[in-house]
Amino acid sequence: MFDCPDILISLAPAYTKAILQGTKTVELRRRRVHAEVGTRVWLYSKVPTARVEGIARIEQIYEGNIKGLWSEFSEGVGISKTEFEAYFKGCSKGYAIVLAGARAVIPAPDLQTMRRKFAGFHPPQFFKRLEPEEVKVLLKGCKLQSQNRDHSASRSIGLSRSRAILE
């Protein structure tokens, strides 16, 4: 188990939006993300947005051959089969991270804010394990948008240890 279960992943702004809208529930990766089920995932939208726009929780992580990933998760990946095949070109296996409980962070901390609060902060190319102090800064002054849809059977996003910071 990791000291801090929170991670930050970088996404194209359209994918962050789709996750927050519930139309994308599976994040694909060519490399394994070393995180556990239940890990809180902060969603960083890349430039031009350059903001931490949401959070979700890892419900499952699957490793498999590319054909099997498409067969199992095509409805939740938010991309076409052509885009899927282009993304995994040259790979024999891939990873599907099933996300649950996605919620927007309001206001969404921008890159400049993160750099002011943490000297040397850089958004990850792949993913970054967050330090407890970084999590506190992200939570301080932010509210989580209430969920008004039912795209997942699981509604919890593992905020019990940080609820006091939000209240």
| pLDDT number for residue 38 | 94
State the Cα–Cα distance between residues 153 and 83, nearest whole angstrom: 28
| pLDDT number for residue 150 | 43
Q: Which domains does the chain have, with CATH numbers?
A: 7-166 (2.30.130.30)
| pLDDT number for residue 93 | 96
pTM: 0.82
pLDDT level of residue 147 (50, 70, 90 thresholds): low
Query: In the chain, at which residue ranges do the beta strands (DSSP E only) sit?
Result: 7-11, 26-29, 40-45, 51-65, 93-106, 127-129, 143-144
Q: Mean pLDDT for the chain?
A: 85
* 61-116 confidence digits (pLDDT tens): 999 999 999 999 999 999 999 999 999 999 999 999 999 999 999 999 999 988 88
Nearest Cα to Cα of residue 44 among 85, 96, 97, 105: 105
| pLDDT number for residue 165 | 22
Q: At residue 153, does pLDDT exceed 60?
A: no
CA torsion sign for 132, 137, 140, 143 is negative
